[in-house]
Structure 1
Amino acid sequence: MRIPVLNDYIRRSNEEIVRLRAEKGGEVANQYFYPPGLLPKLPGRFYYLFGKPIQTKGREKELKDKESANELYLHIKYEIESNMAYLIKMREEDPYRGIIDRTVHRAVSASVDQVPTFEP
């Protein structure tokens, strides 16, 4: 929509198409249809990490206290945020992040069932 010529084309084509939400009113009826881009994004890698388990069993009384429950919440939040920060850092440093890099690596030096990954 930031390209003026393309923006005008999309607006004109939206005026000519059949409205699927014609019976609706307001903002829902006035939504434009934006066709997908010419090249779809190639699927990327999934980065995930299983953190250390946090035991809550046997802490029912402690969790009913608002202050201690908030303390546990902040601990869990910290663990999740630090794991996410680690994964983002590893994703940026991953030499096999792109599908082309992985494919070339597998074709040249890796076995069929081995997936290249970063070193933790």
Structure 2
Amino acid sequence: MKIPYLRTFILELTEEATQLRSDIEGEVANQDVHLPVMSPKLPGRFYYLFGKPIDTQGRQEELRNREKAHELYLEVKSEVESCLSYLKERREDDPYRSILSRMLYQLRHGHEAEIPTFEL
């Protein structure tokens, strides 16, 4: 509705549309017609990384101590955030990120060829 051309188009559609709620008044009766808009998303590459294991054996007291539980939470949060930032950096530098480049690689090297990825 914020784009002028689309706003005019939607208002025209609303005026032309059959009013199904003609016996109702107020805000419910004055709703604009909204057409669903879908755009398919091309399949991307899936990036994942298992971070370092966090040992929790023998740390049962941290369930009862709020400060120690918060420290454990911050440790887990830090590890997850570092893994995500690493993967985001690698994703930006990935030459085979797009489906087109992956398809071209398989055309050149055969369907069974594994598309290269980055080293950990």
After TM superposition, the score normalised by the length of structure 2 is 0.74
Please say if 1:33 is aligned against 2:12: no
Deviates more, 1:2-11 or 1:61-70: 2-11
Higher Cα Rg: structure 1 or 2? 2
> Percent identical across equivalent pairs?
46
- Structure 1 partner of 2:64: 64
CA distance in 2, matches of 1:48, 1:34: 36
For residues 60-119 of structure 1, give each alpha carbon's deviation from its aligned partner in whole angstroms, at most 9, with x where no partner exists. 113311111111111111001000000100110000000000110111135515133233
Q: Map residues 74-113 of structure 1 onto 2, 5 A cutoff.
A: 74-109=74-109, 112-113=112-113
CA distance in 2, matches of 1:72, 1:96: 37
Higher relative contact order (CA 8 A, sep 6+): 2
- For 1:114, the aligned partner's letter is E
Partner SS for 2:51: coil
CA distance in 1, matches of 2:74, 2:32: 40
CA contact (8 A) 1:62 1:69 kept: yes
User: RMSD of the TM alignment (CA)?
Assistant: 3.1
Question: Structure 1: any 5+ residue segments left out of the alignment?
Answer: none
Question: Structure 2: any 5+ residue segments left out of the alignment?
Answer: none
After TM superposition, the score normalised by the length of structure 1 is 0.74
CA contact (8 A) 2:106 2:113 kept: no
- Number of aligned positions between the proteins: 114
